Structure 1
Amino acid sequence: MTHCTASVRAGYTRACTTLLISALLTLLFMALPGQAQEPQKLVRIATLDNYYPYCFRIPGSRPRPTERLEPGAESDQLAGFSWDMVRTCLHNEGYTIELHVAPWARVEHYVRNNMADIMFPSLITPARRTAFAFSRGSTDTVNIVMYANAPMTPVPKTMDAFAGKKIGVMRDWSFGPMWEKTHTAVRHPVDSILHAFQMLAKKRVDAVIGYEKCFDNTLSETGNANTFWKSPSFETLHGYLACRASDSFSQNVLSAFDRQARRLRKTGVIDRLARKWSVPVPLLRDATP
């Protein structure tokens, strides 16, 4: 019995020693330069899905509040030029994207309340400038126009022709400095682009303000491409990535986006994306208006 017990103890000791050596070798291997894996770079991005051709829902796709997209992966529900540009730039920088799709008011709420890191495409407004930091590169270029049942006579570089008129305005969307300075028009909030044109057709509003390509697409899809008069462009605007001004991590993400946007511009990738979606190449400049 004594000999048997000693043998068992010796075997147990050898097994423990072997396990200890194996564990130490594993730790040593993990500590060698170049062997340790970097922590995953995760950025939470919020955007909308009713802004064709920049960010829009893929027809027939199942709505998902969030998606997790590692570098190289594509969304099952979101498409468009701005999304392609943002996704490509940040994936090239090694970021995994946690995508949040929501109406714009909720998108901005997510970022303000640290439920998301980045939102796009965001116009720079006086109210946002105090709370957010913006990328230097833009993600879209849009023309602001008015739609009406009958021709109006716009005054160049002003919206004076719409004084006293009831204007259909997408709820929580921004339409640029010229519109923000217009206090003589009566704003009538609407919940969708289609709703805006339905109100116009029923003459419940006198005109609708909109982003030309986006609103034209809704008219085309509903068979109303030539139904309404459209003004010349009042103003050309640019959207940007935005984050909380106090958030250093997200500002580093903006810098990564700008770095890749400049590189992709030089290599022709952004030009090819712009041709694919039939949009202007966005400006890569300082975000200050």
Structure 2
Amino acid sequence: MLHKTFIVLSIFPLLFSLAHAQEKTVSVATLEDYAPFCFTTQPINSLEQIPPGSDSAALKGYSWDVLRASFHRMNYSIELNVSPWARAIKLVSAGNKDILFPTGKNSERQKIFLYSKEPINQANFRIYVRQDSPIVWSGLESIKGLTIGQRRGFNFGDKWNNLKKVHKLKLNSTLQGFKMLDAGRVDGIVSYEFITDYALKNAGWKNTYKKLPVFDSTAEYLVALKSNPRAQEILNDFDEGKRHLIKTGELKKIEDHWFQSPN
């Protein structure tokens, strides 16, 4: 009897350790209107808990699928918070959430955030203008003196941030900007090419626009606050999980699902 008791007591710490290792949780903040990378199909009124093998009831998109599959591969449960982008940034910057995504690089962000090594999607930056726009493109200098709309809280890189003598009008949504462009209230809209084309097509937008040449681009990543003691561990686990998706062909399946057609 004593021998059996010793065995049980010896096994208990091991079982506890294994259970504890499987109970990893990462809190994630993202935005609601970034199709086809991250977007909601219904309102989210509270936090969602997404254990391995399950999906969000409302959040969809390529980047979400990559993040979810990568963390689930590493036995993480995901605590998901979806909000307007500016609020999502504040949640992570204040230390209230572990991860912000999808996040482009610029010098200001790199002062406070650590980045994953593996990107989660790619963004090309272009300026959209009306078909009758007189702008002759020779780089960003071509738009000096003009009013250009830009999404609030979005990153367009250091070239854009350092551009002077342009009135940069903050917008709450991509489609709001194009309504203003149609009305002549702005001279152009700076935006991410793929999500903008996707949004206009899926909104059945009647007007068409000229796209000025790509002036910059960025891969987008997961980021964590440098002061978060778990930051590097979480990002390393995401990187390992995503590399597994590449190795097994699961990432290719996700890409095919989202990019064969925007519909």
Q: TM-score, normalising length from structure 1?
A: 0.82
Give the alignment of 1:25-104 within 5 angstroms: 28=9, 31=12, 33-34=14-15, 37-39=18-20, 40-58=23-41, 61-104=42-85
**3-state SS of 1:208 partner:** strand
- Please report how far the alpha carbon of residue 43 of structure 1 lies from its aligned counterpart in structure 2 after TM superposition: 0.8
Distance between the aligned counterparts of 2:128 and 2:48, measured in 1? 36
Distance between the aligned counterparts of 2:28 and 2:188, measured in 1? 33
Counterpart check, 1:144 vs 2:120: no
Counterpart residue identity of residue 37, structure 2 = Y
CA 1:140/1:225 → structure 2, altered by over 3 Å: closer, same or farther? farther
**3-state SS of 1:138 partner:** coil
CA 1:110/1:27 → structure 2, altered by over 3 Å: closer, same or farther? farther
Distance between the aligned counterparts of 1:232 and 1:127, measured in 2? 25
Counterpart check, 1:162 vs 2:146: no
CA 1:36/1:169 → structure 2, altered by over 3 Å: closer, same or farther? closer
Distance between the aligned counterparts of 1:209 and 1:62, measured in 2? 27
- Unaligned segments of structure 2, at least 5 residues: none
Counterpart check, 1:219 vs 2:200: yes
CA 1:225/1:92 → structure 2, altered by over 3 Å: closer, same or farther? farther
Q: Work out whether residues 116 and 221 of structure 2, in 8 Å CA contact, stay in contact via their aligned partners in 1.
A: yes
Distance between the aligned counterparts of 2:8 and 2:83, measured in 1? 44
Deviations along 1:15-74, one digit per CA (max 9) or x if unpaired, are xxxxxx9xx79973762634655222111000011111111112xx23233100110110
Give the alignment of 1:230-249 within 5 angstroms: 230-249=211-230
Q: Which of the residues 253, 257, 260 maps onto 1:272?
A: 253
Q: TM-score, normalising length from structure 2?
A: 0.89
Q: Which of the residues 170, 176, 179 maps onto 1:189?
A: 170
**3-state SS of 2:81 partner:** strand
* Bigger radius of gyration among the two: 1
Q: Work out whether residues 150 and 170 of structure 2, in 8 Å CA contact, stay in contact via their aligned partners in 1.
A: yes
CA 1:225/1:81 → structure 2, altered by over 3 Å: closer, same or farther? farther
Q: Which residue of 2 aligns with 1:129?
A: 110
- Please report how far the alpha carbon of residue 178 of structure 1 lies from its aligned counterpart in structure 2 after TM superposition: 2.0
Q: Which residue of 2 aligns with 1:111?
A: 92
Counterpart residue identity of residue 109, structure 2 = R
- Please report how far the alpha carbon of residue 277 of structure 1 lies from its aligned counterpart in structure 2 after TM superposition: 1.2
- Unaligned segments of structure 1, at least 5 residues: 1-20, 280-289
- Please report how far the alpha carbon of residue 274 of structure 1 lies from its aligned counterpart in structure 2 after TM superposition: 1.4
- Please report how far the alpha carbon of residue 181 of structure 1 lies from its aligned counterpart in structure 2 after TM superposition: 2.0
Distance between the aligned counterparts of 1:73 and 1:67, measured in 2? 11
CA 1:96/1:204 → structure 2, altered by over 3 Å: closer, same or farther? same
Provide the identity percentage: 31
- Please report how far the alpha carbon of residue 119 of structure 1 lies from its aligned counterpart in structure 2 after TM superposition: 0.6
CA 1:166/1:117 → structure 2, altered by over 3 Å: closer, same or farther? same
Distance between the aligned counterparts of 1:111 and 1:71, measured in 2? 23
Distance between the aligned counterparts of 1:30 and 1:106, measured in 2? 46
- Please report how far the alpha carbon of residue 267 of structure 1 lies from its aligned counterpart in structure 2 after TM superposition: 2.0
CA 1:165/1:71 → structure 2, altered by over 3 Å: closer, same or farther? same
